[in-house]
Chain A
Amino acid sequence: MSYMVAASLEQALKILHEKGGNVQVIAGGTDLYLKKPLPDLVDVSSVPEILGICRDEGMLSIGAGVTHTEAAASAVIQSEAEALAEACRRVGSPQVRNMGTIGGNLVNAAPAADAAVALVALGAKALLVNHAGSSREAFVEDLYAGYNCSYVDGSSEILLRFLVEPCGQGMGSAFMRFAPREALSLPLVNSAAFVRLRENIIEEVRVVIAPVKPAPTRLVETEKLVLGCKPGEDIWRKVEYTAASEVEVRGSLLRCSEEYRYHLVGVLARRALKKAVERALNRQRR
């Protein structure tokens, strides 16, 4: 077992290459470090390429190594990717948010990872580079291989950054979550939504709910329902019904009953969508 701290991307990729798959990338470590037995680790948390939040050709470029604390406190994310700031604020505890990174939140691939749910709603793309130095781009929602299993291969590639379209005029996003406690509590259900309005009509929408499948799940029927609609009181009740009807959930002794989870899916999908629309309308007026 070994632990190598990479000072540069070049060095990190070199280690991945030399180890030929017998090594695992580690960032904040709050999830990975609990897994036993530990493989050889290469720590990328100080690689400059995965840090910081900046603008890149009109997109927000958010480093995969940005911690939940940094993302939640970032003025840019708070104002132009609200769902992500709200989600990051709710992860674990202050201690976990100080270490855990949003990239790790995705690669760990827990079904209801708050930051990942928000990133899917925001239509985020992930930027990755592999040990041979070739890079690729993928939508965050396409990176789930199964339950707690990611298509990001931590033994041969590094997740560098997320690209998110900043919420400008007529756009808005929101994140909602329900858990038994305010902190250190996994969500019974969480939800995130994004909308783009044109002349008060919804012309683009993403509504995401979790955990209902191994990956954060787009509510396709609900999205179809509201697309092209003028948001108003009459559609919110339909949203709640449609959202709860299009998923299949299970109850668990640990979390809550099946009935309660269906109820939460409807309520949280409606609230997230409604909040995203409110924000989009506010931006239109300005």
Chain B
Amino acid sequence: MADEMMEPGGGGVTKKFLYVNRKAPYGTIYALESLEVVLIGAAFEQDVSMIFADDGIYQLKKGQDTTASDMKNFSPTYRALEMYDVEKLYVEKESMDARGLTPDDLVVPVEVKTAAELGDLMENQDVILSF
């Protein structure tokens, strides 16, 4: 209701939000919750970045099949992030290498950064949320 009425971008302060995703997509609710928070938060037109590291990389893996687990495959939703103006998606190089993955294995375009580079990125944020 409220969000239907509200035209976002009404002169509020823009902060830099970073969402750090470190867990596998299924088995816990963290990945889905993070994605929902990002989508909801997008209505407030903040400067949003997302990092995927450790098993969180698997959230973006192509070809997910959840039929056996009876959970919804929400990986297609990451492709909607661009329309929510969430375009800064980073993956940690060390985590990608350890799992033998390249950006071609992922459902969305990402930027690969080393752990050290991601550390610098974190330094520059106003808010960091870890999932």
- Say if A and B assemble together: no
Q: Report which A residues bind B (CB closer than 8 A).
A: none
